[in-house]
């Protein structure tokens, strides 16, 4: 397992290091790849380099059936090779289980810093959910702390639209963590728009979020107070109706009853006069 064997040793021990030229159309994407965003400019540059010098470093694949291979690492090289018009690409064939393939993809991306923070979080969550790693096991294998894993995964509480806005506008993980503190989705988007429109730094964004949270707390206190007052008014109406029913019962006996009441400054006052 990767938890025991160093990554480079693992790659060597699970392949014979022979390079095979494999047709590109026989290579399928890796289902465990969480990387979604690729810099098109750098892909074009890599494609031009491949046209001139070829693919200098083989990509890694594994066999999935007699007809097809599955990409393990080297997605940029594979994409750039397609753009360059290559029909085949040099590959090293690895013997990997699904679990080891998923983990190798994550390690390769982390090692090369290929992922943005949301993609990294998705990769961690996938390994935890589908392969039942604990956060401690995953942290050990990736040479990270358990808290860094859990904090990264927490970013996925932001909805997809918010995440996309953050990535497309080149905001930082610190921006994302600040936005995450806001409990209301609409408020998150409102504050995020202010941050984007004004090109606000992470530090100022954190201050802006703190002010938004204070407004939310203040509004919540007002709402609770109004609910309490509404409850008091309801209780007063119940009391008044009860007294009026009693007065009506007395009147039905033939007695002359005078009933007056008043509610002022949170005080309910009732006066009943009976002529006998």
- Residues with catalytic roles: 75
Long-range contacts of 20-23 (CB under 8 A, 24+ apart): 20/90, 20/91, 20/92, 20/93, 21/88, 21/89, 21/90, 21/91, 22/61, 22/69, 22/88, 22/89, 22/91, 23/87, 23/88
Rounded CA separation 114/74 (Å): 11
DSSP assignment string, 113-160: T-S-HHHHHHHHHHHHHHH---HHHHHHHTT--HHHHHHHHHGGGS-H
């Amino acid at each position: 397992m990767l938890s025991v064997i160093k990554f480079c040793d693992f790659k060597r021990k699970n392949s014979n290091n022979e390079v095979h030229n494999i047709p590109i159309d026989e290579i399928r994407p890796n289902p465990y790849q969480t990387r979604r965003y690729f810099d098109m400019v750098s892909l074009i540059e890599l494609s031009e380099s491949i046209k001139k010098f070829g693919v200098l470093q083989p990509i890694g694949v594994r066999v999935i059936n007699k007809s097809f291979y599955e990409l393990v690492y080297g997605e940029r090289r594979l994409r750039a090779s397609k753009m360059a018009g290559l029909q085949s690409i040099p590959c090293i064939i690895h013997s990997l289980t699904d679990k080891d393939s998923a983990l190798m993809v994550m390690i390769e991306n982390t090692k090369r810093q290929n992922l943005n923070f949301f993609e990294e979080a998705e990769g961690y969550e996938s390994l935890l959910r589908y392969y039942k790693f604990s956060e401690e096991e995953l942290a050990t294998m990736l040479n990270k702390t358990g808290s860094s894993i859990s904090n990264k995964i927490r970013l996925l509480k932001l909805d997809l639209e918010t995440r996309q806005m953050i990535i497309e506008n080149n905001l930082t993980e610190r921006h994302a963590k600040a936005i995450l503190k806001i409990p209301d989705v609409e408020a998150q988007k409102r504050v995020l728009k202010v941050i984007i429109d004004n090109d606000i730094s992470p530090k100022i964004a954190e201050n802006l979020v703190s002010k938004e949270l204070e407004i939310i707390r203040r509004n919540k206190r007002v709402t609770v107070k109004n609910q309490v007052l509404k409850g008091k008014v309801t209780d007063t109406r119940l009391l008044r109706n009860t007294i009026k029913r009693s007065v009506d019962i007395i009147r039905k006996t033939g007695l002359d009853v005078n009933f007056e009441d008043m509610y002022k400054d949170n005080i309910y006052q009732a006066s009943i006069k009976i002529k006998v």
